[in-house]
Structure 1
Amino acid sequence: MEQSYKRQKLDVWADLTPEKQKAINTYAEHFKSFLNQAKTEREFVSTAIKELQAAGFKPIAHCDKLKPGDKVYMSIRNKGLAMAVIGSLDLTEGMNLLGSHIDSPRFDTKANSVQEHNNLSYLATQYYGGVKKYQWTTIPLAIHGVITKADGTVLPITIGEAENEPVFFFTDLLPHLSREQMSKSAASFISAEQLKLLVGSQPLADSASKTPYRDKILSIFHEKYGVNECDLIGAELEIVPAAKARDVGLDASMIACYGQDDKLCSFASFTALAAIDSCKRTVVSFLYDKEEIGSEGNTGAQSRLYELFLMELIQRSLQRFDDLLYNRIISRSYMISSDVSDAFDPMYPEVFDQANNAYLAQGLCLIKHTGAGGKSGSNDANSEFLRSVINIFEEARLPWQIGTLSKIDMGGGGTIAKFAAKTGMQVVDAGIPVLCMHAPMEICHKLDLYYSYLAYKAFLLEMNLLADDK
């Protein structure tokens, strides 16, 4: 007789029918194609908006009144995105939300970036977010971003992705001369100031300049893109791996690509919402910028522009708005903070709490609290809400697991959950496990990607008002 007091986990492999395997592979191909086009937050927003428009979404500014079934979105300064489907229930019943971030660790060019050193040309860079600097040397890199010209024209730039385009490198020292370098710690044997991007080795012809190699690069930017040095000072140019998403393993069961933290969960979140045509409670998905540097700025999760979108939803749905109404609705709203989780790596077992860690191919990972040490900087979800989310996944027969980030004093990390929770809504973290988090190429499992998409969709559709919030 089966013991009811023990959790009966779903056997994902026994439950995997040919139809499900086909759906998993189809969704994985969509994901790979999407991320190949969306390596930066700006690219993610523009690519997502195209898919949202194809699914019938309209800019919220174009809708004076909103009714059940309406689909709307708002770009957050082209680096974040808010989207919603209006439900049949009155908005005073609250909303169901997903929150993820679309920025990823990378390198940005400095303002005065074009330099020359000993007959070689470089772009000086600044690392963004948590990176292991040594992982970025000697791999092909691409330049993505925008340059704003004096007349206000915003020029998208992508160099290094097409087969006929050059790529760029951060160089490293040869092993024969690395004895002193290799004696240093991993955190220091490559310094931040050494990570200047190699972009040229040819001087400007017939130049009397004292910096002909630097001038050659400036002339190329001018000839190809019509920009000058002043334009480059105000540019946003990001250095990312020049590599496409690829299947991993002889069984092709996994995916490697750049930026899975957190474009992986962002993709699952926005496609889950985009697939919804009707719902009871209004459903919302936020794609935030700047999470990797503390969710700061006017496009990060602490920006009130995302709140503005919710205010617009309320005003255009109810034709009225005030602070008391807004805060009552928020207090009855529920969010999954959808950010990736660390997958257990058998090569480094010493840092993981194996009984409380996420594993590949076990589904979406719920994380009651993040933070570090004594839960510092954590949201720490309420028991009633966490149990309700678990119930949804159990009833939908979707695989899920519970996890934390490493052994208690081994490290830690945070998500956007704590910022959403400050508004008064109930929030819990639930993300997709990855290997090699924050590396130039990260790895996820196709099964986790697909089932997390289904889990996010189930949450949006099935999460109901809790008794304590009525």
Structure 2
Amino acid sequence: MERNNVWSSYNRDQLTELDRINTMYKSCLDEGKTERECVKIAVRMAEEKGYRDIKGLIKDQTEVKHGDKVYAVCMNKSISLFNIGEEPLERGMNILGAHIDSPRIDVKQNPLYESEEFAYLDTHYYGGIKKYQWVTLPLAIHGVVAKKNGEIKEICIGEKDDDPVFAVTDLLIHLAAKQMEKKAGIVIEGEKLDLLIGSRPVGKEDGFREEEKEAVKSNVLKLLREYYDMSEEDFVSAELEIVPAGKARDMGLDRSMVMAYGQDDRVCAFTSLFAMLDVDEPQKTSCCILVDKEEIGSVGATGMQSRFFENTVAELLALMGETSDLKVRRALQNSKMLSSDVSAAYDPMFTEVFEKRSSAFFSKGLVFNKFTGSRGKSGSNDANAEYLAAIRKALDEDHVAYQFAELGKVDAGGGGTIAYIMANYGMEVIDSGVAVLCMHAPWEIASKADIYEAYKGYKAFLKNM
């Protein structure tokens, strides 16, 4: 079933809107390189559109009714937004769900050490990465340091033009004969991903003593105290993430693509957020869920497997005067959801792992995956045919370009999303998203046309389902 490249179908007004969405998207990518940063963006944009924090509504016992806009945040790493519709909540919601965590390198809790007059941070990678892709890149540190007095220090080093950057080193090719014989998975081992952060010892003006054994580490600690009022012990209560330094960029002479870190899955998260904030007066309650921890199994209090979303729905119903657990269950079971996550774009350089008739292609629109999982659909949500037909109708009404695909050849591998977790409530769920090249690499590539069609598709889903 052939799908057309959508670029040739756009008129001038559509191209202007496409540029607006992509400009806003790139700005969000630059500002949101961690889950916390993404939630901060979402809260700011939501409040500008009249959304109110559910914590304040609960505290004041404020009644929630049709037309109200509410958001709930979990530990500053996940957020759910609700635009209350005309129909009772127990009849279900139209839900957009995506994750805002991305593969990266995390700093350990006792990380700072010196070796041969180099200062390093010890690390542990997060999510599925090709470790060799993370060496010799300019890297930045983002995160927070929580001090014992309750103060939270936000850290962002490496993004401004005059900021220093950091790196993971690699062995020079002249001495790498044995290294080059290794399999790709162990060319760079996890314990070799330590971050080089300094090489200058503390100076005499700062009390340097000849017997100082770790003078470079001492200088790093001096700088941390100076800039962040941070001691070595404060690493214990810090969450520091190492990510590629640099901004999202237009890619290609025709500027048809976006190259950036973290497009899995922020390309779906931000387009879902944009669509959510642009829908007014829905018939059914609209909902957007942006969650953490998908890359490591959706676990923990901020992952989709937690009770955070379910509890929030219960709180909403209570603010509507409904405290029945049965109505919470009905609201969830009667809902419809797009579990939005990226798809593997067909890459002509690696045709051996793709089945062309069932692949996602650049610039052919929003991608739907009836099922994900691996090999024999293991670990998959498998959407109902009736639900697919309803989605086709909803998107066709708003002239959204879309395509259907699978993740590579049947025995080539696979992957999962949050779809199966939400399907446990009995709701209708299907995976959808944007086709991406170089998924899980430090720099990923997406088509501007697909980003625009995703925004249009998510908006049509909220409006027409």
**TM-score in terms of structure 2 length:** 0.96
Partner of 1:4: none
* 1:316 aligned to which of 319, 323, 326: 319
| Secondary structure of residue in 2 paired with 1:104 | coil
Shift of 1:438: 0.3
Structure 1: runs of 5+ lacking an equivalent = 1-6, 464-470
Kindly indicate whether residue 244 of structure 2 is the aligned counterpart of residue 241 of structure 1.
yes
Structure 1 Cα separation of the partners of residues 92 and 391 of structure 2? 16
Kindly indicate whether residue 33 of structure 2 is the aligned counterpart of residue 39 of structure 1.
yes
Partner of 2:440: 438
CA displacement 1:164-212 (0-9 Å, x = unmatched):
1100000111111111101111111111111110100012231443222
Structure 1 runs of 4+ off > 3 angstroms? Answer: 7-11
Count of residue pairs brought into register by the alignment = 456
Shift of 1:249: 0.4
Identity among equivalent positions (%) equals 46
* 1:73 aligned to which of 49, 71, 92: 71
* 1:279 aligned to which of 278, 282, 287: 282
* 2:127 aligned to which of 114, 117, 129: 129
Partner of 1:399: 401
Structure 2 Cα separation of the partners of residues 32 and 43 of structure 1? 14
Partner of 1:447: 449
Tell whether the 8 Å contact from 1:10 to 1:398 is kept in structure 2 after alignment: no
Partner of 1:13: 7
* 2:302 aligned to which of 299, 303, 320: 299
Residues 322-341 of structure 1 aligned to structure 2 (within 5 Å): 322-341=324-343
Structure 1 Cα separation of the partners of residues 300 and 2 of structure 2? 44
Structure 1 Cα separation of the partners of residues 451 and 173 of structure 2? 39
Partner of 1:84: 82
Shift of 1:11: 5.9
Structure 2 Cα separation of the partners of residues 162 and 9 of structure 1? 41
Partner of 2:187: 189
CA displacement 1:75-109 (0-9 Å, x = unmatched):
11100111010001122221110110000000000
* 1:120 aligned to which of 113, 118, 121: 118
The amino acid across from 2:117 in the alignment is N
* 2:222 aligned to which of 213, 219, 222: 219
Shift of 1:286: 0.4
Shift of 1:53: 0.8
Structure 2 Cα separation of the partners of residues 277 and 86 of structure 1? 10
Partner of 2:264: 261
Shift of 1:387: 1.4
Residues 156-235 of structure 1 aligned to structure 2 (within 5 Å): 156-205=154-203, 206-207=208-209, 208-235=211-238
Tell whether the 8 Å contact from 1:82 to 1:287 is kept in structure 2 after alignment: yes
Distance 1:11 1:176, change over 3 A: closer
CA displacement 1:206-256 (0-9 Å, x = unmatched):
144322222221221111111111111221000000011000000000000
Structure 1 Cα separation of the partners of residues 9 and 238 of structure 2? 50
| Secondary structure of residue in 1 paired with 2:185 | coil
CA displacement 1:384-424 (0-9 Å, x = unmatched):
11211111112221100001101011011000001111122
Structure 1 Cα separation of the partners of residues 231 and 319 of structure 2? 44
Structure 2 Cα separation of the partners of residues 332 and 79 of structure 1? 27
| Secondary structure of residue in 1 paired with 2:425 | coil
The amino acid across from 2:198 in the alignment is G
Shift of 1:326: 1.2
Distance 1:353 1:53, change over 3 A: same
